[in-house]
Structure formats: structure tokens, C-alpha cells
Structure 1
């Protein structure tokens, strides 16, 4: 019986152990296409059995990096080491990796079992061993009953599983996934995310996934590398990326955020005070001690902001008065856009914990927003 995924993932953190050796090391890798630099002097480490996500907008270099790991592109400079061996000059078919493409790239004229068996036949595996391995893979992805069907007779989710089974059939040390769930509808995509996590745990493989979907990366990955313009901006666990972004870019890219810009008026006892451009005094916990007058930005997630009809006891610090401008009902939560007196629009979200609210907040109502002094993070840039 497979162990609980939660208990394993909670304790999994080889990157925090100085004695751990990276399974994949990308060392100062640059990739240029003519005058365009797709990957710019990038370095990162990935560990054995890690589910690692490369996250970023289109054109940030994440797919190029994945293709270099697969061997479809060669670095202009730098080195990639896998399990202690440099990958320089090693063709794709000799690398202990396999890649699952966004398009799935299934052979339309072949049955499901023949699609899964294709790579094994190319390697010259005996027929009996191929049949056994294909049966194992189809059982793993729950497609035993569909072995004789062809791709056009399958749903999008089933085709995705065939592609996954084919990628895993050769038992690679690393599975590379390029936007693997992009073709699926939202509900199926969410279900498949957890199936991929379970499969990765059961097989004990290292997964490297490329995605532009923040929620997908946050759900599946042990760690995330946020990329921008060919560089890694931050590498951390999903919780660290979300709660402690290291820059304005990461804070703004991951989820929704409110950013209050201003100048530091004091810094002492682990807290700083910032007078924002809108005149709202903010007091926030911070290990940094910038000098008075230094520029500062405080990032606060919408769920950390409280809404009330009356000013909080600690007003005016970490509080402001405004008007409800827009309301978005999402079922599990309601999102409010509150326009402050200086014109700034702040987003706040409220969990719909009960089925009905006696006196719900409505459009154009005057309200107060407030937040605790540990609700946000002071950004360095």
C-alpha cells in the first residue's frame, strides 16, 4: 500500500541539508539564438526525487532550459550535470531522461499499447519484456481497458495519460514535463495534478515541470524556480514563494497582492514604519533596518486584509477608509475591490465560511480596511 503523500512531502527537504548532493546541477548556463539571449547565466540545483517546477511567463526561458536538459538544445556556454555526469555532447536518446510534450505527440495510427511500447521497441527490448512493461504502465495510469484503442477514441485526459505512460515506460531517472496539463479543462487539470504527485511519489523519480500556471506549480512542486528574462529570480518552496517573495516581481507574479509604496520613517525593535504615498501609516515586521527616508514597498495578500464598517482600534496605523468599488463572488470566497480616498484600489478577499450572511457588504458602502503588523512583507526592490 502506498504511503501517505502528505507525510513524505512534509519531511522532504534535501536542499536544506548541506550534506545533500544535487542530482541535477545547472552551472552558469547561457543559451543564445542569434542576438537573443533565452537563458542568461543561469544556475540552479535539483535533488533526487524532487518535484521541481520552472514557472514564468511565455518567453522567460523555462522551455529552453527544459530542452537543454533533454538534449534538444545545447548551451551556448555553461554546463549541465546529471547524477555526476556532464551532459555535454550526449544526444537525447542516450540521456537518462524522457520528455513529455504539451501536444502529447502520440502516433494517431497506433493503438494505446503500441504508443506506450514504441520507445521500448526502438531500444530492442525483448517482446515478452515489452508486453510486461506496457501492462505495468497502463495499470499505473489506469488505462488497462483502453489498450486497443487509438488516440482519437480517447478523451483529452486519457491521451494525457497515454503520453505519460509512454514517457515513463523506459524508466528514466528524470521526467521532463512541458506544460503537461495545458490541454485539459480546469476540473480535470486539478484532478490530474494530484495524480501526477501520487505517481511521482510511487515511482521515486525526479520530475521537472515547466508551467506558466501559478496554481499548478504551487500545488505540485516541492520547490519552484520563478524565471524572468532568462534568469531565476527566486527558488523556494511554494509557501516561501507566496509568503516571503524576495522582490516586487515575484510578489506581483505569484497570486494577487497589494503593494503599498512609501518612505521609511522609523526602524526599530524588528519593525519599520512606512509613510505610504497615499498617506497611510504602515507598521510592519521586518528583519531589515533601512534608514529613515529610504524607499520601501510593503506587499500584503488580499486574504490578510480585513474589512469592517467601523475603524479598527489601532487606526490609523495599518488601516484606511474607502468605498467598495467592485465585488466578485467566487463561491468559496468573495473578492472586494475597495477604492481608498487617495484613489488607490485595494483588493481584499473574505472566505464564505457560512451559507448565508445576514448583512452582506454591498456596492458603494463606506468601509475600513485593516491588517496586522505581521500580515505583509517588506520588499527589497
Structure 2
């Protein structure tokens, strides 16, 4: 069975028409004076899903999360959680908990007391609190730090305390607002996988807000890409990356090369685009734009091949060019090639071997080629 990218798990309730959403935003709008932060947005999230809201600053993703938590009220629309309309329900009565980017730990309390705080507010018995806190400490591997205060912990340890405190009350939904932003790159990558494992083991629904594309791609079952208060595309990470539904998503997620041209033919299975300076692109697609119409083509750097020799057919999906820049990144090498039409494209090659025979150098004449199914036709 073919799929777009590798699949982390078979969990995919959004593909089942009979599946009932766990969280529904129905035509939700949020205005702050004359500014519309969320604009008539509808979105479904399913039970046990790890869902990411991804977008640039000011796109409305944090406002959406705060409305779900109850810290903000919608100007219009409904938010349904587990079959219940959340309208008028205060934050402390909602079956959700929120983990903030700053962690918001109490500096005068020990790790143990920070985790127990919400449980004491709920009137849980002392023995039950002790048992629950022990479970949380074991879960985040901080048993030996129970008596320390937040200023005696590393950033990663404080992040785990905040996570344990958020999960101690066993909410139906955990909301994470830029949860890993304060961690260094290596620790952030390690924590991403820990969060994924934790979410699946607990069987909870996680909704994370992030502007970090790699973070969303790593952790989420699905991603909602947002722009100007609207959801532009909702799909799995592989679908977002390999099959963006528009130019904005193609350009926002990862590196991409975009060509603009005119449709010269469409035969039902493929489309040919004429690009400047005689470059012809043939793309396998079921979308059939009208002949003569303008269209775009997006292709990722790793789908381009750089060679010294011309291909068998140098007139389609191929262009000669000059190698302008080379960046060796360890796991891969990135090439910047100026094509004969003047456009500079980025290509990347995996460094599968330590030594390279006859490596490329600056200013060489090269060819850039790609397969018909290597990129996607852009609708706008």
C-alpha cells in the first residue's frame, strides 16, 4: 500500500465518517475591537489525537487554544467538548488543563507541592494526593527531585514538573502553548518524543500550539496550518509536506522551490507547464487546469537531482544551470543552482557515505532533473 510518507501509527478516526469528534469548533469568531483574531473557523479534533495548531505569530492559534481553555469567550460560534457546549463554563470547571510556555511554577514550593497544588484545591484526600504525586513523579522520571524547588532544576526538569502538574488532575484534554520553546535544540528534540510516548500511554487528547514546523511535524497526528485567523489546511504531517493544498502551505512548511508557468497541455493524468526560458515541467496530477491558464509547481529540495551529465530527455523536467553555493550540513549537502532561466533553486542530497568520489565544486555547470511525481501542482 502506498502512502505519503511513513505512518507513525494506524490511528486515523478522521477518515471514518461515523467517528464523532471529541472537540468541535463550529463557526467560531473572536474579535478584539476592530481586530479579528479568529475568523469563522470550524475544526474537529478526535479523542486520543495529538493535534497541532501551526502558524506564524498573530495567526490566531493561541487565541483558539485560550477559548478552548475558557480564558477567552468566542464572539460568535460554538465550542463543543465531549458533547457539551462550553459556552459560559469557567476555566476551572472545564475538563482541560493548560501547560504554558513559561511553565508558571510556584517558586516557593517544592516539585512535590507544585504537582499537588491543583489536587489540594480540588479537596482530594492527603493519601490520594500522595499516591497521585508519586505516580506523576515516576511518569516524568523526577522522583529524586521531589524536594527541590524550581530554581534548583534545569529547564528540561522544570518543563517536566509543569507537565506532571498539568496531568495530575487527569484532564480529558491537555493544552500545550509553545511548551518546548524554552528548551535547547537537543533537549527539545528528546522531549518531543517523550511527549508523544506519554500521550499514547495515557490515552489523552493533546492540543499543542506552536510556530515550530519541525515540532508539529514530529509530534502531531494531524496539523492545522493557520493564517489570519483561518485554517488553511488540516492534514497529517506527510500530507501537509508532500501534498500542500495551496501556495501558502507549500511555502510555509519546510523548504520548497516554486515555479510559475502557463498550462500548455492536460491529458487527464498529467499537466505540462511552460516556464520562462524554455523550461517545460510535466507533473503527474488529477487536477486539470484549463489550457493557457497560469499555474504553479512546488517541489522539495530533496526531490531534485543534481548531475554533471544531461538526462536522456533534457527538454522536460530538466534544466542546465550553474552551481552557485554548496553547504555541507553533515547528514546532507545543500546545493544552490542558478538555472538557465535565472531562477535559483535549492537541491539537497543525503550524505549516505563518508567519502565522496569527485565531489561538486562552486561554479560548475550542472543539470537539475526531477520525476513527474516529485512535486505538486499549486491551485493558487
TM-score (norm 1): 0.97
In structure 2, what is the equivalent of residue 339 of structure 1? 338
Q: What is residue 60 of structure 1 aligned with on the other side?
A: 59
How far, CA to CA, are the matches of 1:140 and 1:77 in structure 2? 40
Question: 2:326, 2:343 → 1: CA distance?
Answer: 16
Once the 2 structures are TM-superposed, how far is the Cα of residue 278 of structure 1 from its aligned partner?
4.0
> Once the two structures are superposed, what CA deviation does each residue of 1:3-38 show, in whole Å capped at 9, x if it has no partner?
xxxx99421000000110000000000000000000
Matched, 1:264 2:263: yes
Cα separation, partners in 2 of 1:8 and 1:351, compared to 1, 3 Å:
closer
Please list the CA deviations of residues 254-305 of structure 1 after superposition, one character each: whole Å capped at 9, or x if unmatched. Answer: 0000001000000004001000134310011010111210111010000000
| Alignment pair present for 1:198 and 2:197 | yes
Q: Aligned residue for 1:14?
A: 13
TM-superposed CA distance for 1:206, in Å, is 0.1
- Compute the displacement of 1:341 (Å): 2.1
Task: Give the equivalent residue in structure 2 for 1:4.
Answer: none
Structure 2 runs not aligned, ≥5 long: 1-5
Cα distance, 1:361–1:80 mapped onto 2, change above 3 Å:
same
The match for 1:279 is 278
Distance 2:252 2:161 in 1: 33
1:205 Cα offset (Å): 0.1
Distance 1:37 1:10 in 2: 37
Aligned to 1:354: 353
> Which 4+ residue blocks in structure 1 deviate beyond 6 angstroms?
none
Q: State the alpha-carbon separation in 1 of the partners of residues 82 and 254 from structure 2.
A: 34
Gaps of 5+ in 1: 1-6
For 1:11, what is the secondary structure of its paired residue? coil
Aligned to 1:75: 74
State the 1:316 CA deviation: 1.6
Listed as ranges, the matches of 1:140-219 within 5 Å are 140-219=139-218
SS at match of 1:160: helix
**1:135-161 deviations in whole A, cap 9, x for unaligned?**
000100000000000000000000000
Distance (Å, rounded) in 1 between the aligned partners of 2:97 and 2:9: 27
1:379 to 2:378 alignment: yes
Q: Which moved more, 1:299-308 or 1:286-295?
A: 286-295
Q: Aligned residue for 1:116?
A: 115
What are the superposed Cα offsets for residues 174-233 of structure 1, whole Å, 9 maximum, x if unpaired? 000000000000000000000000000110000000000000000100000000000000
Corresponding residue for 2:31? 32
Cα distance change, pair 133–22 in 1 and its aligned pair in 2 (3 A) = same
Tell me if structure 1 keeps the 8 A contact 2:246–2:379.
Answer: yes
Question: What is the root-mean-square deviation of aligned Cα atoms in Å?
Answer: 1.0
Equivalent residue number for residue 224 of structure 1: 223
Q: Given the two structures, how large is their TM-score scaled by the length of structure 2?
A: 0.98
Counterparts in 2 of 1:248 and 1:278: CA distance versus 1, 3 Å:
farther
Residue aligned with 1:10, SS: coil
Does the CA contact (< 8 Å) of 2:320 and 2:367 recur in 1? yes
TM-aligned CA distance change 1:359 to 1:9, over 3 Å: closer
Q: 1:296 to 1:29 in 2, by over 3 A?
A: same
Is residue 86 from structure 1 mapped to residue 85 from structure 2 by the alignment?
Answer: yes
How many residues get paired? 375
Structure 2 contact 268–286 (Cα < 8 Å) conserved: no
Please say if 1:136 is aligned against 2:135: yes
After superposition, give the CA deviation of every residue in 1:341-366 in whole Å (9 maximum; x if it has no partner): 22210000000000010111111111
Contact 2:279-2:341 at 8 Å conserved across structures? no
Q: Partners in 1 of 2:81 and 2:51 — Cα distance?
A: 15
Q: Deviations over 1:85-129 (max 9, x none)?
A: 000000000000000000000001100000000101111111110
Is it true that 1:106 corresponds to 2:119 in the alignment? Answer: no
